[in-house]
Structures are given as C-alpha cells and as structure tokens.
C-alpha cells in the first residue's frame, strides 16, 4: 500500500507486533476482544486517528487506511474489524455528522477508547433493503422515542453507543429516515448476546429497543436526511473495508506463493487479480481524497475486493489440504472471514445493483 510516511507505518507495525500478534490466536480461540484496551493503546501511541482531519490528525488518509490494512494482515478475526468499525466507521460518522455538543460528549471519549461505537443498519427482516427497515423513531416530548430491533451489528456486544438508522416517516421515500446516536444505557434498550456467527465470533450483536428516549441533539444531520447521509457514509465504510480486504488478500497471496513456488502458473492469475485490485484501490483512494468517489465506484471496489478474497481463500484451501479444515488454522479462519467481509457494508448483489442502476 502506498504510504509516504514510512515512520508511521513502522510504528503501526511495531504496535501490532507488540500488542496484537503474540496474543492474536489466543483471543481468536477464546473469542475475547479487548477492543477498549486496543483503542486506548492506539490513542496513547498517537496511532488511532493520525490521518484524520485537523485538529485530530494531519489529514493523510493513507495513514488511516494503512492502520486497517496492517491490522487485517497481522490480526485475523475480530480485532481489526472491531477497530475499523469503531474508529473509521462509527467515530468518523460522528466527526462528519454530529453537532458540536454531541461531538464533545461522544467523539472525544471515543477517540480515547473510553467509549465504543457501532453503526446499526441491519435488522432481522431488512439487511439488503435499507428502505424496508422497521426500526422507528417518533417525536416525543423531550426528543425522540426509538423502538425496534437491530441485529448483526459489528461491535454491538460491547458498544457504549450506537449510531442507528430509524424510520421517521412511513413509505419508502429516501427522506423517511433519520440517524440517531443511541447510548446503550438508555432506558428501554436491551442488548442481545453476540450472534453465533461463522467468523468474527463474538463481535456481531443485536439490541431490542422499546420507547428509548433520546434528546433532539442526538439526531445526526437533519431529521429525514438519515438515509442520504448513510449512503454517503457507506462509501467511506466500503473504502475502509476494502483496505482490510487488500491487507488480507496480500497476506493470502504470499501464503499461496509459498505453497506453489515450483508451480508459478498456478498463481499467475491470482497475482494479476491482486495487482489489478491494488491499482483500482489506489485510484479510488485518490478519488475519495478529491471528493469524487461516487457510490458506483465504492460499490465496484467492494465487489471486486470480495471476489478477490473469495478466489484467494478458495485457492489457499485447495493448496492447504487438510489444514484448511482444522479449527482456528489461518486458512480456515480467513476462509470464514472472507465470507463475513463480503457481507459487511453490503453484499456483492447489493454492490452490483448499485452499479447496475447507473448503467
């Protein structure tokens, strides 16, 4: 990955080597994710948001992308995904959309690791079709009353607050939805146990909410603009998820090449796919920085990353033989996670629908 500040990348690598790598497989086996400690440690090492806009960082987006890329390579499982979801999906959403009061209350603690965030869109009956969500918010005397169920949300088993998409008007108009910050200790919020998932074990959860009241200032952006804001934010999410996919894909390719050193023809095609994805990723990053990163492009990037990752994990499974079927071996872990990442931020079919709508 292109990163001009080599000192920063060395510091990230060093942090991962010291704080994550020695424990990574144990955490994986026990499904224990000390995410709060990681964020605190990243923050105290000045690594958490070094690439954020001022005053938090120096606006070098590549630094943020490198952080998630490197975490994906070196720390399988939920570790990297939880940090990405907290920092550059959850907290970044607050940075861009919260009013100053809300930002002061939640953003600063979030960046210190004192508060963990999640972004909740998916529901038991609505994942791909966000306009079909049932989670609703109604105007109440002192703000908004929220009710409904969210499920399959990264970080929800341990989040302190959730950015939640809720319906604020009937019908499927894009202006029928709003975004709220919902503290998990709000009366009426019941956290569910983590879902028993194939990958990212222990970090995907749900909540049941009934008449939870949040104040007016907890609305992110304008009421009714939630879906539009979320769509814009999803482009950001897909970029960061793609950085993770790039990290994993390069790692897998290295493993595949070691397996097939005497048969280069076996992997030539995968090398080409990786080169192509990397080139497209860099192009997308440049476009994102120039603020010319349309939904179609973010969807293409995500779709291509999913395809690449699945191709690589399938090939590694073929080459690894029985090891690929042993619990908590790298190949087995990444095979499960490739499927999980292909769902995060929208499945491949949704990506194709986004691209297809603009043909």
Partner 1 sequence: MLMENSLHSLLQSEISAGLEARVATLNHSEVLAGVQTDSATSLMRLLGERALICDLVLRDPPTSWMLLNVHAAHWLATRKAAAAVELVLHQLHTAFPLLEQLGAQSSLANSLSIQLLRGETLVARIIHSLDLAATISARKNGDGWLIQGELPVCLIGPDTQFILLPVASAYTGKLDIFLLPCNADAVQIVSRAPVSGDENYALARINLANVQLNPECHLGSIARESYQHSLSIHQALSAITNNQSSKMTLTATIEFLRNRLVNGTPLLKLDVLQQRLAALQAELSMSQALAYSTLYAQRTETFSRLANASYEAARKLHQTITAECLHLGGINHYRTDSEVANSYQQSRWMNFFSEFSPATVLAR
Would you count residue 275 as binding partner 1 (CB under 8 A)?
A: yes
Q: Do 185 and 246 form a contact (C-beta atoms < 8 A)?
A: no
Number of residues counted as binding partner 1 (CB under 8 A): 28
- Report, in Å, the least distance between residue 246 CB and partner 1: 13
What is the helix (H) or strand (E) element at residue 32, kind and residue range? none
CB of 307 to partner 1, least distance (A): 8
Q: Which of 303, 309, 343, 344 binds partner 1 (CB under 8 A)?
A: 303
> In this chain, which of 276, 294, 318, 323 binds partner 1, going by CB under 8 A?
276
Distance CA 64, CA 88 (A): 8
- Residue 152 CB, shortest distance to partner 1, in Å, is 23
Q: From the CB of 199, what's the least distance to partner 1, in Å?
A: 24
- Round to whole Å and give the CA distance between 114 and 306: 33
3-state SS class at 199: coil
Q: What is the token pair recorded at 219?
A: 């609305």
**Is 84 in a helix, a strand, or coil?**
helix
Please report how close the Cβ of residue 290 comes to partner 1 at its closest, in angstroms: 15
Terminal CA-CA length for the chain? 30
Q: Which of 264, 294, 318, 321 binds partner 1 (CB under 8 A)?
A: 264
Stretch that binds partner 1, among 219-227, 232-240, 292-300, 325-333 (CB under 8 A): 292-300
Nearest Cα residue to 68 out of 161, 112, 160, 3: 3
Choose which of 283, 289, 294, 325 interacts with partner 1 (CB under 8 A). Answer: 283
Query: Is residue 359 near partner 1 by the rule CB under 8 A?
Result: yes
Segment interacting with partner 1, rule: CB under 8 A, options 20-28, 141-149, 180-188, 278-286: 278-286
Asked if 198 is part of the footprint of partner 1 (rule: CB under 8 A), the reply reads no
Q: Which of 4, 169, 190, 279 binds partner 1 (CB under 8 A)?
A: 279
On the CB side of 137, CA atoms within 13 Å amount to 24
List the structure tokens of 276: 């192509």
Q: Which is nearer to partner 1, 160 or 282 (CB)?
A: 282
| Nearest approach, Cβ of residue 60 and partner 1 (Å) | 20
**Separation between Cα atoms, residue 60 and residue 41, nearest integer Å:** 21
Among 190, 271, 289, 326, binds partner 1 (CB under 8 A): 271
CA distance 220 to 283: 30
Joined tokens for residue 109:
């603690």
**Assigned token pair, 167:** 């319906």
Contact 226, 179 (CB under 8 A): yes
Q: Which of 280, 295, 329, 347 binds partner 1 (CB under 8 A)?
A: 280
Nearer to partner 1, 169 or 279 (CB): 279
Q: For 155-293, list the strands marked E by DSSP.
A: 161-167, 177-183, 189-191, 204-214, 219-220
Of residues 315-354, which lie at the interface with partner 1 (CB under 8 A)?
349, 351-353
Residue of 144, 277, 293, 334 that binds partner 1 (CB under 8 A): 277
Q: Could you give phi then psi for residue 143, rounded to 5 degrees? A: 140, -125
Residues that bind partner 1 (CB under 8 A): 264-265, 267-269, 271-273, 275-277, 279-280, 282-283, 297, 299-300, 303-304, 349, 351-353, 355-357, 359
């Amino acid at each position: 990955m292109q990163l001009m500040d080599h000192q920063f990348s060395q510091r990230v690598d060093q942090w991962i080597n010291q704080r994550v790598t020695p424990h990574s497989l144990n955490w994986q086996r026990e499904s224990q994710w000390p995410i709060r400690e990681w964020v605190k440690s990243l923050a105290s090492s000045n690594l958490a948001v070094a690439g954020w806009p001022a005053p938090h960082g120096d606006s070098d987006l590549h630094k943020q992308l490198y952080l998630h890329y490197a975490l994906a390579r070196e720390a399988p499982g939920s570790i990297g995904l939880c940090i990405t979801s907290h920092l550059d999906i959850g907290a970044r959403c607050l940075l861009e959309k919260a009013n100053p009061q809300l930002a002061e209350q939640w953003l600063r603690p979030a960046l210190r690791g004192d508060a963990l965030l999640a972004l909740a869109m998916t529901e038991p009956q609505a994942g791909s079709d966000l306009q079909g969500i049932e989670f609703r918010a109604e105007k109440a005397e002192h703000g908004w009353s929220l009710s409904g169920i969210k499920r399959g949300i990264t970080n929800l088993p341990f989040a302190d607050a959730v950015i939640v998409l809720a319906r604020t008007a009937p019908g499927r108009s894009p202006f029928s939805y709003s975004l709220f910050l919902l503290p998990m200790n709000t009366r009426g919020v019941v956290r569910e146990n983590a879902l028993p998932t194939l990958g990212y074990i222990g970090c995907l959860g749900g909540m049941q909410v009934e008449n939870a009241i949040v104040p007016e200032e907890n609305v992110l952006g304008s009421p009714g603009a939630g879906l539009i804001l979320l769509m814009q934010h999803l482009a950001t999410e897909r970029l960061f998820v793609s950085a993770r996919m790039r990290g994993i894909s390069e790692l897998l390719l290295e493993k595949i090449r070691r397996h097939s050193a005497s048969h280069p023809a076996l992997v030539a095609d995968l090398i080409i796919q990786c080169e192509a994805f990397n080139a497209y990723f860099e192009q997308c990053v440049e476009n994102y920085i120039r603020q010319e990163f349309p939904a179609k492009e973010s969807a293409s990037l995500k779709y291509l990353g999913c395809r690449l990752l699945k191709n690589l994990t399938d090939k590694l499974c073929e080459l690894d033989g029985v090891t690929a079927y042993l619990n908590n071996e790298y190949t087995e872990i990444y095979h499960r996670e490739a499927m999980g990442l292909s769902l995060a931020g929208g499945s491949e079919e949704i990506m194709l629908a986004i691209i297809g709508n603009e043909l």
